[in-house]
Amino acid sequence: MKKLLFIFCAAITFSACTTSTSTPPKDEKMYSWINSEHVACGVPFDSDTSDDYIIVRDEYVLSYNNQRGAANWVAWKLTAASFGDVERYSGNFITDTSLPTPFQRIKHADYTNSGYDRGHMVRSEERTYSVEANKATFYMTNILPQTPDLNRGVWYDFEQYCQELCTQQHKDLYIIAGGIYDRNVTTLKDEGKVEIPDSCYKIVYIVDSGQKPTATTVQQIAVIMPNISGVRKYKYSTYISSVPHIEQSTGYSMPLR
């Protein structure tokens, strides 16, 4: 599995593979080095990149936050070709040893008996075109704590909708997902390793299959779903939001805004 890793002490966007001690510009141009189809729409960014470690994989791009023990965001392209016949990886979730030595490396066991699921951002089913690709979705850097009602309920329903857009309506999707955090953050099992988001968001940019995503060609759908028990009974449409609302809640400027 090819990987391009980038540690960047300054911004939450899809970035370039260099290290700099100077203050970078606070816009998406600083991430022009990323040559990945997963960020064809652009890159999320904010004014503080000190908590971002950028990882570019063949399967997705993400920004890892060492303090939170989880990704700030994960971005990926989804098409009909993303879905195949490969069986779901059956081992434990995988510690991401590509993170630099000073960083905490979250393990499968850090979630065990916490009451929270290991919630995929890039869903396992969305990378079933090869064994290697499916296994890549099980890196702990692609995981956020989600309640079972969220992960197995309304979040899953929205994942199913995205799959139908690709496989039945011949659409290509460009997706960004992550967590939204309250000021009074709690951590899994109160161990101080993995912060628990209060809600999870997903932005989906939709184009016809094979079409280039631009501000004039994409349709957008965005959701913010509370990370609590009891949401399983609701439809994903209950939590339709907007890109500006997600920007306000996360502090990030999103692509094609």
Task: Please report the pLDDT score of residue 5 as a whole number.
Answer: 43
pLDDT surpasses 50 at 1? no
| Alpha-carbon span 33 to 21, nearest angstrom | 17
Q: Using an 8 Å Cβ cutoff, are 155 and 117 in contact?
A: no
Verify whether residue 38 is a known catalytic residue: no
Which pLDDT band, with edges at 50, 70 and 90, does 31 fall under? confident
What confidence tier does 248 reach under pLDDT thresholds 50, 70, 90?
very high
- Best CA proximity match to 43, nearest among 53, 32, 52: 32
Can you give the pLDDT at residue 27?
A: 63
Percent with pLDDT over 90 in the chain: 81
Burial 105-133 (b: 16+ CB within 10 A, else e): bbeeebbeebebbbbbbbbbbbbbbeeeb
**Average pLDDT along the chain:** 89
Residue 17, pLDDT > 50, answer: no
pLDDT at 26: 54
Residue 204: is its pLDDT beyond 50? yes
| pLDDT, tens digit, 9 for 90 and up, residues 152-196 | 999 999 999 999 999 999 999 999 999 999 888 999 999 999 999
Distance from C-alpha of 246 to C-alpha of 27, rounded to nearest angstrom: 17
Inform me whether the pLDDT recorded for 14 exceeds 80.
no
**34-51: average pLDDT:** 90
Q: Per-residue pLDDT averaged across 43-72, rounded?
A: 93
Residue 194: per-residue pLDDT: 98
Q: Which of 108, 120, 170, 245 is catalytic?
A: 120
pTM, 2 dp: 0.89
Q: How far is CA 86 from CA 60, 83, 128, 140, 148, in A?
A: 18, 9, 5, 20, 25
User: pLDDT band at residue 124, thresholds of 50, 70 and 90?
Assistant: very high
Q: Domains of the chain (ranges plus CATH)?
A: 3-250 (3.40.570.10)
What is the rounded end-to-end Cα distance, in angstroms, of the chain?
32
Q: Residue 212 pLDDT more than 90?
A: yes
